[in-house]
Structure 1
Amino acid sequence: MPSQPTIARIWRGRTRPDVADSYEAYLKTDGIPPLEKTALGVQLFREDRAHESWFTTISYWPDLDSMTAFTRGEPTKVHHLDRDPEFLIELPEFIQIHRIVIDRQGLR
């Protein structure tokens, strides 16, 4: 298995501002740990706007096969967390899969 990621899997969802802190906490306890155990890396981003808060999760994978194994054979299908309907304004219907072309870390 390559040690460098070649695939990024990107998920985005949005909440109302009044539940954004609770959803962030939920993602940290229920959404991110399975990715930390399986993916090469994971990032969680949050963007607060006036009427909504956006969350973006990017996980990094050595290849499409390993990502497909994690998603149980359906790499583009969203696998919602149990409480997503409670928090999200709408349930996202898809994720994005990007091939990593340049991966430079530690840029100054």
Structure 2
Amino acid sequence: MIARIWRGITPAEKADAYLDYLRETGLRAYASVAGCRGVKVLKRIQGEHSEIMLVSLWDSMDAVREFAGENPDHSVYYPEDDQYLLEMEPLVRHYEVVEGLLSKDVPGFEIP
């Protein structure tokens, strides 16, 4: 399994609007690929800026390529991203998932 991690920075006041836009673009595109096993969307407000991080899980790099194209290390952007993002990071990170933990494995531990 592969974890793909992408990060974007928006002005804090545009963070929620950008998340709405992501649901219609990137997250919808993730869901259209059979090899995508899910995504967690993280948001962190830091003063005037908001960091948005997408951590998606994929069956394989071939599945990632189905989403991202022949250069899977390159970020995928959509037409209106530049209205929200302060910069367009060119690359994403990919990691091999070597271990996981489910809440059922640890009594009293719940994952939202």
Normalised TM-score (structure 1):
0.88
Give the match's secondary structure for 2:71.
coil
Consecutive unaligned residues of structure 2, counting only runs of 5 or more, are: none
User: Aligned-residue CA RMSD in angstroms?
Assistant: 1.2
% same residue: 25
Distance in 2 (alpha carbons) for counterparts of 1:67 and 1:105: 24
Provide the residue aligned with 1:28 in structure 2. Answer: 23
Q: Give 1:70 shift.
A: 2.0
2:73 matches 1:65 = no
Distance in 2 (alpha carbons) for counterparts of 1:36 and 1:69: 12
Q: How does 1:1-108 map to 2 (within 5 A)?
A: 6-38=1-33, 39-106=36-103, 107=106, 108=109
Q: Give 1:56 shift.
A: 0.4
Structure 1 moving runs of 4+ over 6 Å = none
Aligned pairs, number: 103
Q: Does the CA-based 8 Å contact 2:29-2:67 persist in structure 1?
A: no
